[in-house]
Structure 1
């Protein structure tokens, strides 16, 4: 696999989890195939702390479309969507109670997450832009 995976005990929203992983590791986890999915499922089953019902990974839906991509730049060659997973949220997660189930979640939820270190050759991470509108008229 060539990557070290860390299951993080902190509970953060999706964007904070992404920034945490990029600050302290490489990126939020991308899952490139069934072998990696199995390995992740085993890590979840052996977690040394209590997990949230879902775990953030670097899965994101394009804002103006229906296509999904990995923030790491890895190709989206493998998917494991849970049947009936239909929400309007652009953030993707893994179910911690149901192995191999991917689901859309509200990006604001505070969940545990996976980071990885060890970059892939030729990958260009996706840029994440976020901003908050602040009214200058507020006292």
Structure 2
């Protein structure tokens, strides 16, 4: 909702009716958690899910069932970000979307059940409240809408009548007091709002890796480190602005130990190397190797001699 409010403030023209945002229907229905995480563990009852119109999920006796999202049921909220140790049962009958809003306003989110252990925890939580056999919302839903920056945000602010599944596969915000979302034909023409990542800056100057490192540390914070898939997506969004085919990252090869390290001092856990890269080079002792990201294609990491002159990405935040 903070993003929604900022969006409203950015549009001052009263004649504007709709504003494009970056949510588009992909045609691929995927089960995901309200938190935005993909659903890798599923505990369906036999024969489930059993209908395209049933896009939200309840738990009963440890098994999951897909039902219509407008069904009014009680639900479980999670009050901690990482575990199911702080669960809250809400004995109010709400639709799945209303239950999601309630959990986000009063706790953290609708409960996620990401593995067998968490499924057993939630099942015990329900049993301890003598609710065994009841239908109770959990945070799993099916959705084919995706943000253009590939982020996992599951936040939706649809108008109650939307989406109406009339072949309208793009999303616009209605420019009125409520500012809710409507699905609209992608060929319609409306104003739109772009955003930039304030924490990542592409410097379109061709310099060696050491020069890039010095520039970032003098003018910003550091060369970028990519510790997660989420950060890789952010890098992929900004690197398109580069004028060189490769762009320096804060990644360097510690030759003696046959290790790649980030300038932050961290080892490389998350990896996105192009094939044939990221291993100890044969000429390791003859030339120092550094890591860069491709600005085109699938934007993988590659190993290059540090004397190559490339654009680079600085961060503006302290880790």
Task: Say yes or no: TM over 0.5.
Answer: yes
Tell me, which stretches of 5 or more residues in structure 2 are unaligned? 1-197
- After TM superposition, give the deviation of residue 72 of structure 1 in Å: 1.8
Aligned residues: CA RMSD: 1.9
Aligned partner of residue 40 in structure 1, secondary structure: helix
Q: Residue 257 of structure 2 is aligned with which of 65, 77, 82?
A: 65
- Using CA pairs under 8 Å that are at least 6 residues apart, name the structure with larger relative contact order, 1 or 2: 1
Long gaps (5+) in structure 1 = 121-139
Q: Is the 8 A contact 1:61 1:69 kept in 2?
A: yes
Structure 1 position 25 matched with structure 2 position 220: yes
TM-score scaled by length of structure 2: 0.34
Q: Take 1:28 and 1:99, find their aligned partners in 2: how far apart are those partners?
A: 21
Work out whether 1:53 is the aligned partner of 2:248.
no
- Where does structure 1 differ by over 4 angstroms across 4 or more consecutive aligned residues? none
Match in the other structure for 1:133: none
Q: Tell me the CA shift for residue 27 of structure 1.
A: 0.5
* Higher Cα radius of gyration: 2
Structure 2 residue corresponding to 1:98, chosen from 287, 290, 297: 297
With over 3 angstroms needed to count, the CA separation of the structure-2 counterparts of 1:75 and 1:68, relative to structure 1, is closer
Alpha-carbon distance in structure 2 between the residues aligned to 1:117 and 1:75: 21
Note if contact 1:12-1:111 (Cα within 8 Å) is conserved in structure 2: yes
| Structure 1 segment 57-136 matched on structure 2, within 5 A | 57-85=249-277, 87=281, 88=284, 89-120=288-319
Q: If the length of structure 1 is used for normalisation, what is the TM-score?
A: 0.76
Q: Higher strand proportion, which one? A: 2
2:208–2:308 Cα contact (<8 Å) kept? yes
Task: Tell me, yes or no, if the aligned pair for 2:251 and 2:292 is still in contact at 8 Å.
Answer: yes
- Whole-Å Cα distance in 1 between the matches of residues 299 and 293 of structure 2? 7
Structure 1 residue matching 2:248: 3-state secondary structure: strand
Cα distance in 2 between the residues matched to 1:93 and 1:36:
15
1:75 to partner: Cα distance:
4.5
- Deviation (angstroms), 1:42: 1.5
What is aligned with 2:208?
13
CA offsets 1:69-107 (integer angstroms, 9 cap, x no match): 100234422111101126444211101122331110111
- Count of residues paired in the alignment: 116
CA distance in 2, matches of 1:8, 1:73: 23
